[in-house]
Structure 1
Amino acid sequence: MKMKTISAGVMALLLMTSCVSKKVYTDLESKYADLKKENRALSDENKGITKDRNELDLKSKDLQAQLDKLKAERDKLSKDYASTKSGLDKMQSSYSDLEKTSGETNASISKKNRELLAELEAKEKALAAEQDRLNKIKAELQERSQRVDELEGMIAAQEAGLKKLKETLSKALNGFTGKGLTVEQKNGKVYVSMENKLLFGSGSWTVGTEGKKAVVEVAKVLAANPDIAVLIEGHTDNAAYKGSNEISDNWDLSTKRATAIVHILKENKGVDPKNLTAAGRSEFAPIAGNDTAEGKSKNRRIEIILTPKLDELSKMLNEI
Structure 2
Amino acid sequence: MKTGKKILLLGSLIIFISSCVSLKEFNETKDRLTTENEQLKRNKMDLEAANAELKSRVEQLNSQNKELRSQLEEALYDLNVQKQSNSALQKDVDDLQKQMEALNSGSSAEIEKLLAELQEARGDLNSREDKLRAAEKELEERNAKLIELQNILAQQEQAVQDLKKKVMDALVGFNNNGLTVHEKNGKVYVSLEEKLLFKTGQWDVDPKGQQALKELSNVLAQNPDINIMVEGHTDDVPMHGSGAVKDNWDLSVMRATAVTKILTQNKQIDPKRIIAAGRSEYLPLSPDKTAEGRQMNRRTEIILTPNLDELLEIIDMN
The amino acid that maps onto 2:261 is: H
What is the CA RMSD across the aligned residues, in angstroms? 2.5
**Correspondences of 1:196-235 after superposition (within 5 Å):** 196-235=194-233
Partners of 1:31 and 1:173 lie apart in 2 by 34
Q: 1:148 to 1:174 in 2, by over 3 A?
A: same
Equivalent residue for 1:154?
Answer: 152
Q: 1:111 to 1:76 in 2, by over 3 A?
A: same
> For structure 1, which segment, 105-114 or 153-162, has the greater mean C-alpha deviation from structure 2 after superposition?
105-114
Alpha carbons 2:164, 2:181 under 8 Å: kept: yes
**Correspondences of 1:296-307 after superposition (within 5 Å):** 296-307=294-305
Equivalent residue for 1:76?
Answer: 74
The amino acid that maps onto 1:242 is: H
Per the normalisation by structure 1, the TM-score is: 0.87
Q: 1:255 to 1:67 in 2, by over 3 A?
A: same
State the Cα distance separating 1:34 from its structure 2 match.
Answer: 7.5
The amino acid that maps onto 2:95 is: D
Alpha carbons 1:81, 1:134 under 8 Å: kept: yes
Partners of 1:270 and 1:64 lie apart in 2 by 34
Equivalent residue for 1:3?
Answer: none
Equivalent residue for 2:116?
Answer: 118
Question: What is the CA deviation profile of residues 225-273 of structure 1, one whole-angstrom value per residue up to 9, with x for unaligned ones?
Answer: 1001111111111011134411121111111111111111111122121
State the Cα distance separating 1:64 from its structure 2 match.
Answer: 1.9
Q: 1:285 to 1:218 in 2, by over 3 A?
A: same
Question: What is the CA deviation profile of residues 151-180 of structure 1, one whole-angstrom value per residue up to 9, with x for unaligned ones?
Answer: 101110111111111111111111112212
Alpha carbons 2:41, 2:277 under 8 Å: kept: no
Structure 1 residue runs of 5 or longer lacking an equivalent are: 1-13
Per the normalisation by structure 2, the TM-score is: 0.88
Structure 2 residue runs of 5 or longer lacking an equivalent are: 1-11
Question: What is the CA deviation profile of residues 272-314 of structure 1, one whole-angstrom value per residue up to 9, with x for unaligned ones?
Answer: 2111111111111011124111110110111111111111111
Residue 249 (structure 2) pairs with residue 256 (structure 1): no
**Correspondences of 1:59-70 after superposition (within 5 Å):** 59-70=57-68
Alpha carbons 2:194, 2:298 under 8 Å: kept: yes
Residue 174 (structure 2) pairs with residue 188 (structure 1): no
One of 289, 292, 295 as aligned partner of 2:293: 295
SS in 2 for 1:108: coil
Equivalent residue for 1:275?
Answer: 273
State the Cα distance separating 1:81 from its structure 2 match.
Answer: 1.2
Q: 1:308 to 1:238 in 2, by over 3 A?
A: same
The amino acid that maps onto 2:260 is: V
Equivalent residue for 1:237?
Answer: 235
State the Cα distance separating 1:97 from its structure 2 match.
Answer: 0.8
One of 50, 53, 65 as aligned partner of 2:51: 53
Q: 1:108 to 1:93 in 2, by over 3 A?
A: closer
